[in-house]
Amino acid sequence: MKLLEERIRKDGKIKGGDVLKVDSFLNHQMDVELFARMGEEWARLYAGEGVNKILTIEASGIGIACVAAQAFRVPVVFAKKSKTKNIAGDVYTAQVESFTQGKRPYPIFVSKEFLHPGERVLLIDDFLANGNAALGAIELIDQAGAQLAGMGFIIEKAFQQGGGILRDRGIHIESLAMIDS
């Protein structure tokens, strides 16, 4: 997606080797017009997949998932990183590691009330690096008996292994920008 690539070149900052800082327009301050364009692009790319729910992981994925859901006209559910009093009843849970959080494992949770058998779920997230968060999301979808329709990422770090791991599983992945190094 040319608009996104231009924005990364203009406002993205490299921090410490493998970290691309895009917080001025993606995950701290959000450019909602850019989000709308990305949502429309994913809706075009996944038009034939029967998507009826979007899943993301808190916190950076929530904004883009919500805007993408508008393009699909479907609800969003997000996996929480801690089980709070707001999550009543049974949950699906998986362990994930975050590249940007120092690879320390943490659990993610989705209430069984919001993810159901037979749903066609599209994962939307900001970055694809090593693929650990995506694998955790797949685990939640599998536990629910739902079907993974595909995965959409704003930025894929092609120099890391996540994209290869997921594509080797036959998953339909659409990354709107690829970073080679």
Spatial separation of the C-alpha atoms in residues 27 and 63, rounded to whole Å: 8
- Which residue in 33, 32, 74 sits closest to 52, CA to CA? 74
Q: Measuring CA to CA, how many Å separate 153 from each of 48, 112, 163?
A: 18, 25, 10
Where does the pLDDT of residue 10 fall: very low under 50, low under 70, confident under 90, or very high at 90 and above?
confident
Name the token pair of 22. Answer: 């895009």
| Cβ–Cβ under 8 Å, residues 162 and 24 | no
pLDDT exceeds 70 at position 121: yes
* End-to-end CA, the chain: 18
Give the pLDDT confidence of 34-70 residue by residue, as tens digits: 999 999 999 999 999 999 999 999 888 899 999 999 9
User: Residue 53 pairs with which residues in a beta bridge?
Assistant: 121
pLDDT exceeds 80 at position 26: no
Could you identify the residue written with the tokens 């203009």? 10
| Cβ–Cβ under 8 Å, residues 75 and 54 | yes
Where does the pLDDT of residue 21 fall: very low under 50, low under 70, confident under 90, or very high at 90 and above?
confident
